[in-house]
Amino acid sequence: MTLVTRRLLSLSIFFAIAGAGGLLLYWQERHSQDAAEAKKTADKLFGFTKVDDVVGLSLVTPAGSFEIARQAGAAPDLAWRLTRPQGALAEKMTVEALLGQLASLSRSREVGEKLADGSVKPPTDLSIFALDPPRIVVTVTLADGSREALHVGKKSSFDGSLFVTVPGKDGVAVVDGALEYQVNKDLTALREKRLAIFDTAEVSALQARYRSIAKPGRTEVYRVDVDVDADRYTLRAPIEAPADGTQISGLLSSLATVRAKSFAAEEATAAALHTVGLDHPDAEVELTLKDKTSLRLAFAEQKQGNATVCYAVNRAGGPVLELGSSAVLGKIRTDVEDLRDRRVLHFDRAAVKKIRMQKGETTLAFEERHDDEENTSDWFMTAPAEHKVSDATLSGLLYQLGNLKGDAVLADAATDAEWADAGLEPPELSIELAAADGAGLATLLGGAEDKRGRAAAAKGSRRIFHVPSSALQDISFTVTDYDAPAAKELP
């Protein structure tokens, strides 16, 4: 056998051994993965994996026995209904959080005597784990009609984990103690507690009526048209004016999320409403939705000793709710002047690429320029002299202008005389905001000053605001105040 032949044979043997080793490692890895997957499956206590597989849930807890059924074809928020101990809408989030926990529930270990072969001999006395009888019983009904159950015992005093058993199977398992929070429920925890279920984006109008606290005996009424898609809110009564979107959206959000602390009565009978003052409510709100349906919600406060308790009812039917606080009632009782949109300017800050400021004989102009090579944008002063300026200062100016609000409305549709009296013809100062092509986006007009501030308006509008001194005093017409940090003299 030649030297070359011997070398080739050695290489062949080497590669054969390496290949066999690689296959062995691959087999071992696959075997380990399969074993881990098999153990994971064996440790799961429920066979279902998705909440959608469940059509029914039964709970027996220290607080009582409860049956919950899925309502086929119902809207998502109406998907679950309590059928025992009474008919009521169940809280979707609570039910599905519980089912999600069960779908992924696995034993962390088994309890009992470990035998020589590695198996565990289960304990015979289940009472010491509060499993004979079980403290809590959970049963789920699947879409195919089959059922799966779990018995839940007490918590471990060592680590807070729970002892559980699966009916029909030997053995006591230990699971994460977080399951306790999900399954140990009472009727109030399981039922829907929202006063009304609606999407705030579907509201097209809001009308509120409330008893005035500031003017006893007087009823205040306001109506707002809502166009969420266009981010437009318009007061229709008692005055016609733009409405403050933050205020209105905040009120709608509060109405959509107001929840019962407890249930004062299961039915809104005349006697039940009278008991809590809802026969003559302190406030009522009617929401008109885009599909032309409406919701009417009523609120009342009652003095109970030193405390004030707030109650609410949905006029469409349902229980009388005791609320945890009067916060939503406070949002409803908003003076119409506080509902007005007092922003002087409306513009998209990101669209502003040019700014021109004028006060007396002073004119400052700025332009944002984009460097294609560096892919950066920087602000430059273009008048009275061209140089780089502070991006942060210009960004701050735009933020300040975008949030500029009046503390009072001096006129909604000012006459020429009112415009002139406010010092707006001509204005004492102006700030023009424009897009890159020079198209105007908004112009602030500053008028006559008084001790508290000055008149202000937007060009093209006849609405005059009074803005406080603090709102405009930081706006500088001094060139050096806009210099970039590097351009300023070091101390």
What's the pLDDT tens digit per position in 301-348? 998 888 899 999 999 988 999 999 999 999 999 999 899 999 999 999
Alpha helices in 215-359 (DSSP H): 245-257, 270-275, 327-332, 336-339
Asked whether the beta carbons of 62 and 135 are under 8 A apart, the reply is yes
Task: Provide the β-strand partners of residue 424.
Answer: 427
Asked whether the beta carbons of 434 and 448 are under 8 A apart, the reply is no
Residue with tokens 């994460």: 176
Tens digit of pLDDT for each residue in 96-155? 999 999 999 999 888 877 766 767 777 888 899 999 999 999 999 999 999 999 999 999
pLDDT of 487 strictly over 60: no
Letter string b/e over residues 343-379, b meaning 16 or more CB atoms within 10 A of that residue's CB: bbbebeeeebbbbbbbbeeeebbbbbeeeeeeeeebb
pTM equals 0.78
pLDDT at 8: 56
The whole-angstrom separation of Cα 237 and Cα 221 is 7
| Range 299-308 contact pairs with CB under 8 angstroms and sequence separation of 24 or more | 299/328, 299/329, 299/332, 300/276, 301/277, 301/326, 301/329, 302/276, 302/277
Tens digit of pLDDT for each residue in 401-422? 999 999 999 999 999 999 999 9
Contacts of 161 (CB under 8 A, 6+ apart): 108, 155, 174, 175, 176, 177
Amino acid at 171: G
Q: What is the 3-state secondary structure (H, E, C) of 90-134?
A: ECHHHHHHHHHHHHCCECCEEECEECCCCCEECCCCHHHHCECCE
Contacts of 194 (CB under 8 A, 6+ apart): 256, 257, 258, 259, 260
> DSSP assignment, residue 372?
T
Letter string b/e over residues 442-470, b meaning 16 or more CB atoms within 10 A of that residue's CB: bbbbbbeeeeebbbbbbeebebbbbbeee
Residue with tokens 């004979």: 132
Residue with tokens 């159950």: 149
Asked whether the beta carbons of 366 and 383 are under 8 A apart, the reply is no
Q: What's the pLDDT band for 37 if we cut at 50, 70, 90?
A: low
The whole-angstrom separation of Cα 51 and Cα 99 is 6
| Range 209-212 contact pairs with CB under 8 angstroms and sequence separation of 24 or more | 209/283, 209/284, 209/285, 210/282, 210/283, 210/284, 210/329, 210/332, 210/333, 211/282, 211/283, 212/333
For range 6-32, the mean pLDDT: 58
Q: Is the peptide bond before 133 cis (omega within 30 degrees of 0)?
A: yes
pLDDT at 158: 85
Q: For the purposes of burial, counting CB atoms within 10 Å of the CB of 247, is it exposed (0-12), middle (13-18) or buried (19 or more)?
A: middle
Asked whether the beta carbons of 381 and 387 are under 8 A apart, the reply is yes
Nearest Cα to Cα of residue 63 among 191, 187, 192: 187
CA atoms within 13 A on the CB side of 444: 32
Q: What's the pLDDT band for 490 if we cut at 50, 70, 90?
A: very low
End-to-end CA distance of the chain: 89
Answer with the residue of higher pLDDT: 2 or 185. 185
Tens digit of pLDDT for each residue in 418-465? 999 999 999 999 999 999 999 999 999 999 888 899 999 999 999 999
Q: What's the pLDDT band for 274 if we cut at 50, 70, 90?
A: very high
pLDDT at 311: 97
**Which domains does the chain carry?**
51-190 (2.60.40), 200-339 (no CATH), 349-487 (no CATH)
pLDDT of 36 strictly over 50: no
Asked whether the beta carbons of 297 and 255 are under 8 A apart, the reply is yes
Q: What's the pLDDT band for 224 if we cut at 50, 70, 90?
A: very high
Reading the block at residue 365, the tokens are 């102009």
Tens digit of pLDDT for each residue in 225-264? 999 888 899 999 999 999 999 999 999 999 999 999 999 9
Tens digit of pLDDT for each residue in 54-95? 999 999 999 999 999 999 888 888 999 999 999 999 999 999
